Structure 1
Amino acid sequence: MSKDRSGSRAAGVLWEGVQRLLAQCPAAEPDGTGGASVVDLGGGTGGLAVRIAALGHRVTVVDPSPDALAALERRSAEAGVTDRVRAVQGDAADLAVLLPEAGADLLLCHGVLEVVEDPLAALRSAHAALRPQGLLSLLVAQWTGAVLARALSGHLAQALELAAGPDHRWGPADPLLRRFDRASATDLTERAGFTVTAVEGTRAFSDLVHSSCAESESDLALLHRLDAEAARSEELLSAAGHLHVHARR
């Protein structure tokens, strides 16, 4: 199984969760279409933004990387959604200047809190950018899933460092500044002023199953079903590599 195929399958559960949030937006129709205003904070090259725009929504991608935004514009053009995707260079600290206050129906904050200097400030900026009753899609790396993945891959010292360290990093070269668990992710979201409505796991099995065990389309489909089952299982949530927090302003 190639990395691209694995990544695509792993992202399936997350995409399904994002679609459910889109369907709850006031501007959206019951089928998830209808032109909601979406902000993708740290959206990079637009892997999700272009898919959301293809459903008829308007998406503003805020990202600090000019290269990533250039790739986003190319991807938007190839998908024929340039009229519904806007690229803005900046980060969470700039939202108050870059975006109108209380203007978004849904804000995606995926893979951001692990790398910013002040996660709480980033979430408060996201809160201010949303309309009253607007929705937050928050994706964070979970340390318990990372411990399991490192241990099963034979990196026992890194697994121990992840489990015991205060920020749950596997060492000085770890690209993430911190990882979360359900309690810490929920607490941080609520401290920023949100009401958490659901916490789902993503990539519970996709990060653990060796590629040789999921080479066929039927095996990949089963892997996706396992991830989907684990996404909402209290017992399996801690195995997930990431947590998808759904919240309302």
Structure 2
Amino acid sequence: MSDQLRPRASLRTAVVWDVLKDALDRQVKATGRDALDVLDTGGGTGNFAVPVARLGHRVTVVDPSPNALFALERRAAEAGVADRVRGVQGDILGLFEVVDRGGYDAVLCHGVLEYVDDPAEGVRNAVDALRPSGELSLLAAGLGGAVLARALAGHFTEARRALTDPAGRWGEGDPVPRRYTAEQLTELVSAAGVEVGAVHGVRVFADLVPGVLVDTEPGAMEALLKLESAVAELPAFHSVATQLHVLGAKGAEGRPQRG
């Protein structure tokens, strides 16, 4: 895993970052270009955009928040990649008002589908922004993780409500408008013309383990990161993950599945 995303934040990003970096490496080999064009929809302050730019790629971040884009600009400058990171105000449902169709080798759609009115259109737009054989990285809140977390906190009625609610919400105070199962996300991606290469459970254990244990027990952080990586692709754990990650390629029919 890259040192760019360590240490505490890596519990939230490690699995996705490792998969994404491999996907970008594949695109470099496939295209013969060292510098790819990457679109990060909802990329905010650049948690992924800046590390991707550090790899030498050009990243366009589309986000509705001016404050987030200002922080992105400052972060990119501090990292020495301001020339490779461009922030544009907008959202995924109006994506082609601010970027071109078919102009990107990879599109990141992380933490977006929970908040859009039309998730299917959002995924279609992300896919339409890809060049042929471009890679899509999709990350969204998992239903099972929320149910498990509410139950372990003793909020059993809320856990049951999340389980039965069409949007996966546990109550009026739930800050997340929508959650997904792995099946729902893969259906959205497949319907948009992307062949699913891999599905990963993200933060399977990280949100359940007491922070004091991770921070004070020698070697606990590294051991937990290895455990998260070990279970990420196991379908049995997708149903309890806090987030779900889907990776696929546009027009990738017939390609072998990837990890």
CA shift digits 1:176-213 (9 cap, x unpaired) = 22111111111111112211111011100101111233
1:84 and 1:217 mapped to 2: Cα distance? 38
**DSSP 3-state at the match of 1:132:** strand
2:16 corresponds to: 14
Question: AA paired with 1:224?
Answer: L
1:155 corresponds to: 155
Question: After superposition, where does 1:78-227 map in structure 2 within 5 Å?
Answer: 78-215=78-215, 216-227=217-228
Asked if 2 retains the 8 angstrom alpha-carbon contact of 1:23 and 1:29, the reply is no
2:3 corresponds to: none
1:217 and 1:101 mapped to 2: Cα distance? 49
**DSSP 3-state at the match of 2:236:** coil
Query: 1:217 and 1:40, CA in 2 relative to 1: closer, same or farther beyond 3 A?
Result: farther
2:100 and 2:167 mapped to 1: Cα distance? 33
Deviation at 1:238, TM superposition (A): 1.6
1:245 corresponds to: 246
CA shift digits 1:81-128 (9 cap, x unpaired) = 000000000001222121122110000000100100000111111111
1:5 and 1:151 mapped to 2: Cα distance? 28
2:31 and 2:53 mapped to 1: Cα distance? 14
TM-score using structure 2 length: 0.89
2:201 and 2:136 mapped to 1: Cα distance? 16
**DSSP 3-state at the match of 1:239:** coil
**DSSP 3-state at the match of 2:193:** coil
TM-score using structure 1 length: 0.93
Q: Which runs of 5+ in 2 are unaligned?
A: 1-5, 251-259
**DSSP 3-state at the match of 2:131:** strand
Deviation at 1:217, TM superposition (A): 4.6
**DSSP 3-state at the match of 2:102:** coil
Deviation at 1:241, TM superposition (A): 0.8
Asked if 1 retains the 8 angstrom alpha-carbon contact of 2:146 and 2:242, the reply is yes
Asked if 2 retains the 8 angstrom alpha-carbon contact of 1:22 and 1:28, the reply is no
1:235 and 1:26 mapped to 2: Cα distance? 32
Asked if 1 retains the 8 angstrom alpha-carbon contact of 2:28 and 2:35, the reply is no
Moved over 4 A (4+): 26-30
1:64 corresponds to: 64
How many residues are paired up? 244
Deviation at 1:26, TM superposition (A): 4.2
Asked if 1 retains the 8 angstrom alpha-carbon contact of 2:38 and 2:60, the reply is yes
Deviation at 1:5, TM superposition (A): 5.2
Q: Name the Cα RMSD after superposition.
A: 1.8
2:256 corresponds to: none
2:23 and 2:185 mapped to 1: Cα distance? 18
Deviation at 1:9, TM superposition (A): 2.3
Query: 1:24 and 1:185, CA in 2 relative to 1: closer, same or farther beyond 3 A?
Result: same
Asked if 1 retains the 8 angstrom alpha-carbon contact of 2:61 and 2:85, the reply is yes
Deviation at 1:7, TM superposition (A): 3.2
Asked if 1 retains the 8 angstrom alpha-carbon contact of 2:102 and 2:130, the reply is yes
2:221 and 2:153 mapped to 1: Cα distance? 20
1:119 and 1:101 mapped to 2: Cα distance? 18
**Sequence identity (%):** 46
**DSSP 3-state at the match of 1:198:** strand
Question: AA paired with 2:41?
Answer: L
